[in-house]
A = this chain, B = another copy of it.
Amino acid sequence: MSAPIAHGGGITAAAAAFGGRPDDWLDLSTGINPCPVALPDIPARAWHRLPDRHLVDEARRAARDHYGSGEILPLPVPGTQSVIQLLPRLIEDDRIAVTDNKVAVTDKRIAVVSPTYGEYARAFASAGFAVDAVDDLAAIGSEHRLTVVVNPNNPDGRVWPTDTLIAAHDRMKAAGGLLVVDEAFGDTDPALSLASCAPQLSNLIIFRSFGKFFGLAGLRLGFAIAQDDILERFEDWLGPWAVSGPALSIAGSLLRSDVSPIRGRIDGRNAGLHAVLKGAGLQISGGTALFTLVADARAGDIYTHLCRHHILVRKFDYAPDWLRFGLTPDPAADRRLGEALQRFER
């Protein structure tokens, strides 16, 4: 398999290189809500027992109502990473007969609207697929057995209108292919979601992330929304009890709670971050409510400078001018970031 991708969250490695205790670092390298929601009560049996069917079913019903997926009960998965890794197997599984006028596509080729989250290309390349990094949905063709689009996109926040995505789905379906829409950062703007259209789109797979919005990334929980034949295959391949009992229990509670205060707090933190970045003269070139992308010719130097102040942000090998800033947890952290940026000598 290709080399691991450097993701956010690598505070241990950063502290080893630049000093300081990992806990004292300000980690802005992820897109996780820095103000975790209070944990609901977790019944003792969720820890004790193998996750029983009723726990799974309740989480699925709560996810259906929360995401608005109509008759589809989203499948809980141990982080969307777990199903990203199953996608190559899915399209090699000849039980997937996805269209009425199916075209025999023998080429192992897929498309990823890029730049974006790197694990899709890694998973497919590792399974022997040619991966076309396309810059627009208009570039996908009948040679692609699957297309991935992240909406809103990570790291630039690019947004795809529902009509454009449905048209892309229909093109993929006409050639017997699948469209994967990763809505990992979709919770702060639910109007973008294709979830309500999913029951009518047979060749669509939506991935949702639970941990980013709720600030509980350690849980390892995501949901897949697709037709039953696809979800059943994922469930089969993941095997029994793929998701932990506490994760299912927490999801069942939080997905039924009023999330507008969470959105409000995220928006407040986002405003704080934007003020700091603008105050430091940085140019905001994109992002979502949970992270902000900065374009700056001296991004590499700013990255290193911030590391010296024990602040970790994301840099990108493929775009050396970019830095991605996650939200700070509170105004004090905004000030800490602002002061560190002020000391950067331009």
Interfacial residues, chain A to chain B (CB-CB below 8 A) = 1, 4, 7-13, 22-23, 27, 30, 32, 36, 39, 44-54, 78-79, 81-82, 84-85, 119, 211, 215-220, 236-237, 239-247
A84 cross-chain contacts in B, Cβ below 8 A: 239
Give the distance in Å from the alpha carbon of A243 to the alpha carbon of B79 in the complex: 9
Give the distance in Å from the alpha carbon of A11 to the alpha carbon of B22 in the complex: 43
**8 Å CB contact of A81 from B27, B119, B239:** B239
Q: Judging by beta carbons under 8 Å apart, are A32 and B52 in contact? A: no
Q: Contacts A217-B49, A245-B218 known; A240 to B54 CB distance under 8 Å?
A: no
Give the distance in Å from the alpha carbon of A241 to the alpha carbon of B81 in the complex: 8
Give the distance in Å from the alpha carbon of A1 to the alpha carbon of B36 in the complex: 39
Give the distance in Å from the alpha carbon of A239 to the alpha carbon of B220 in the complex: 12
Q: Judging by beta carbons under 8 Å apart, are A36 and B10 in contact? A: no
A79 cross-chain contacts in B, Cβ below 8 A: 239, 241-242
Q: Judging by beta carbons under 8 Å apart, are B246 and A46 in contact? A: no
Q: Judging by beta carbons under 8 Å apart, are B240 and A49 in contact? A: no
Q: Name which of A22, A49, A237, A246 has the most chain B CB atoms within 10 A of its CB.
A: A49
Q: Judging by beta carbons under 8 Å apart, are A49 and B218 in contact? A: yes
A243 cross-chain contacts in B, Cβ below 8 A: 220
**8 Å CB contact of A239 from B52, B119, B216, B242:** B119
**8 Å CB contact of A44 from B1, B36, B53, B81:** B36
Q: Judging by beta carbons under 8 Å apart, are B50 and A9 in contact? A: yes
A-B contact pairs, 8 of them (CB 8 A): A12-B52, A30-B50, A36-B44, A48-B217, A50-B217, A79-B241, A218-B244, A220-B243
What are the 10 A-B residue pairs with the smallest beta carbon separation, nearest first? A218-B245, A9-B50, A12-B53, A220-B244, A12-B54, A81-B239, A36-B48, A50-B217, A47-B218, A1-B236
Q: Contacts A53-B12, A245-B219 known; A240 to B32 CB distance under 8 Å?
A: no
CB-nearest residue of chain B relative to A89? B89
Q: Judging by beta carbons under 8 Å apart, are A218 and B51 in contact? A: yes
Q: Contacts A1-B236, A220-B244 known; A215 to B82 CB distance under 8 Å?
A: no
Q: How far is the CB of A79 from chain B (nearest CB, A)?
A: 6
A219 cross-chain contacts in B, Cβ below 8 A: 47, 244-246
A36 cross-chain contacts in B, Cβ below 8 A: 44, 47-48
Q: Judging by beta carbons under 8 Å apart, are B246 and A218 in contact? A: yes
Q: Contacts A36-B44, A219-B245 known; A49 to B78 CB distance under 8 Å?
A: no
Give the distance in Å from the alpha carbon of A39 to the alpha carbon of B218 in the complex: 17
Q: Contacts A36-B44, A50-B30, A52-B9 known; A241 to B215 CB distance under 8 Å?
A: no
A12 cross-chain contacts in B, Cβ below 8 A: 52-54
